[in-house]
Homo-oligomer: A and B are copies of this chain.
């Protein structure tokens, strides 16, 4: 037990140790205002000697700036938070925040009651906002206090910047690949209708089939493996001659494959299956999918919020087709 009952040092301690006033110490640390080189030096040594770490709460209090980022996830129920994608986003944001002395919180916002966001942002503790599964409603509810401190992962607006994936392009590439591989009866397990990014995928799918003179075969899913599992059966019940199933996500595709295999349907021989995202496990089960630099996307978002260089603009990350055995 090397740790004494030592009280973390305050700026007063530092100032005293350096033989200057608190104001001077503060000025040195802030780096603005005047300070002689000797004062600067003495304060710096005192800081490292005492292991001084500024009190984020006090700083936030005087600046009125808040003390954590809020990851707000729109969804139909609190279960949206039970999602590895959300986990990943939260963790990535947390990692980016740590050096800034900020924390992260996650909250769910009902799709059909977006105004609940206001209750969350009324908390002065919220220093910034990361929007997930963003809807246009939500974008309009971002308070002015947090503009320039908000990034949407997905769609953006004139006031809210965003980082996004080229869902349309990715899905087009997948469907085109299936078509070129000779598949003609291509079904899709979609995402929830209210979700913009899912809709872009669905629209791309429809467009391509339409242009090829083929009918669309859609079953609504929700990104989950469990739903994919159920949806696979529904697809084959409604359109037994289906020879390819496009999953809105890798999890969906994995669920689909699980069901098909269990039902004795061969993948890809009888039915080709594709995913979307290229999660680590996709490689393991040889899933054809579209790859996105998810980590990089989330980091970009987190950085934008933290650096406050969040000019209202959309950064779109490309989608790369990854060919594996499942299609």
Question: Interface of A with B (CB < 8 Å)?
Answer: 1-3, 5-9, 51-53, 55-58, 60-61, 66-69, 71, 81-82, 84, 86-88, 90-92, 94-95, 97-98, 101-107, 115, 118-119, 122-125, 140-145, 225, 251, 254-255, 257-258, 280-281, 283-286, 295
CB-based contact B91/A87 at 8 Å: yes
Q: List 13 A-B contacts (CB under 8 A).
A: A3-B141, A8-B124, A55-B125, A56-B124, A57-B60, A57-B67, A81-B95, A84-B280, A87-B92, A94-B104, A97-B103, A251-B280, A258-B283
A61 vs B316: C-alpha distance when bound (angstroms): 40
Which B residues are in CB contact (< 8 Å) with A118?
A: 3, 51
CB-based contact A95/B106 at 8 Å: yes
Which B residues are in CB contact (< 8 Å) with A94?
A: 71, 90, 94, 104-106
Which B residues are in CB contact (< 8 Å) with A86?
A: 91
CB-based contact A103/B69 at 8 Å: yes
A90 vs B81: C-alpha distance when bound (angstroms): 12
Which 3 A-B residue pairings sit nearest by Cβ, starting from the closest? A103-B103, A68-B103, A87-B91
Which single residue of chain B is at the shortest CB-CB distance from A7?
A: B145
Which B residues are in CB contact (< 8 Å) with A251?
A: 280
A98 vs B69: C-alpha distance when bound (angstroms): 11
CB-based contact B88/A84 at 8 Å: yes
Which single residue of chain B is at the shortest CB-CB distance from A59?
A: B57
Which B residues are in CB contact (< 8 Å) with A106?
A: 91, 94-95, 98
> Given A8-B123, A67-B125, is A97 in contact with B101 using a C-beta cutoff of 8 Å?
no
Which B residues are in CB contact (< 8 Å) with A95?
A: 81, 106
> Given A87-B88, A102-B105, A225-B280, is A51 in contact with B122 using a C-beta cutoff of 8 Å?
yes
